[in-house]
Chain A
């Protein structure tokens, strides 16, 4: 089945530790995105990538890093520099042409203790 997978669904980390969230898609989409969602709020763009080996900062990139070495994969690292990392993280992908409809993964809820 085609789709986007994120793992794990729940993640706990101690303050000061870096953590990497995975995102894989087999939809052959060119573009991939990372969003953060806080309770009762909309989605805010962290990073996006329109093509392999290229990515751009979104609105709240500070304290995060990404890589796009393969078309299928767009991992997000939450570094210790991110002041308030506890949130729901959503990965999405799109064809990057036409309507640019984005398809979302199931999300990872990160809790920093």
Chain B
């Protein structure tokens, strides 16, 4: 099975940088996703990592280390609208099931 851990809550200041960590344990790893979810809304795709390293996309970057079972999402130049939950999700193909397994999410509060 999979075990995905991420912090429950984080607080940061507008304009600052915040790093949200995610650790996972899985036997058939085939990709890690980050989604953003505002309260009461559907998750929206932010990033995808399948190889080690950093993927940068505007203010958001995502890093993966497969050997450590570790990823982080980096948000730069924080804006108030970045207040949301950030979900880490892992794809595990070991069982033939190609669905994603989600962590519980990290609720980020951006303060003025």
Interface residues of A (CB under 8 A from B): 31, 33, 35, 40-45, 48, 50, 56, 58, 88, 90, 96, 99-107, 109
Q: Are B91 and A100 within 8 A (Cβ)?
A: yes
Q: Do the beta carbons of B99 and A42 come within 8 Å of each other?
A: no
| Residue pair B87, A43 in contact (C-beta under 8 Å) | yes
Residues B105 and A56 in contact, CB atoms below 8 Å apart: no
State which size class the interface on B falls in. 20 to 34
Q: Name B1-48 residues within 8 Å CB distance of A.
A: 4, 8, 31, 33, 40-45, 48
Residue contact A102 to B42, C-beta cutoff 8 Å: no
B103 neighbours in A (Cβ, 8 Å): 42
Instruction: Report the Cα distance A101→B100, complex, angstroms.
Output: 9
CA A45 to CA B89, docked complex, whole Å:
12
A99 contacts B31, C-beta separation under 8 Å: yes
Which of these, A90, A96, A99, contacts B42 with CB under 8 Å? Answer: A90
Are the CB atoms of B97 and A42 closer together than 8 Å? Answer: no
Could you pull out 28 A-B pairs where Cβ atoms are within 8 angstroms?
A31-B98, A33-B99, A40-B8, A40-B104, A40-B105, A40-B107, A42-B4, A42-B103, A43-B89, A44-B102, A56-B97, A88-B40, A90-B43, A99-B31, A100-B31, A100-B100, A101-B33, A101-B45, A101-B48, A102-B100, A103-B45, A104-B43, A105-B42, A106-B41, A106-B42, A107-B40, A107-B41, A107-B42
Known: A41-B104, A41-B105, A42-B87. A48 touches B99 (CB 8 A): yes
Residue on A nearest B49 in the bound complex, by CB: A99
A104 to B4, CA, bound (A): 21
Which chain A residues border B79 with CB–CB below 8 Å?
Answer: none
* Given contact pairs A31-B98, A43-B89, a sample of 19 additional A-B residue pairs in the complex whose CB atoms are under 8 Å apart: A40-B105, A41-B105, A42-B4, A42-B102, A42-B104, A42-B105, A43-B87, A44-B102, A45-B100, A48-B97, A48-B98, A48-B99, A88-B40, A100-B100, A102-B33, A102-B100, A104-B43, A106-B42, A107-B40
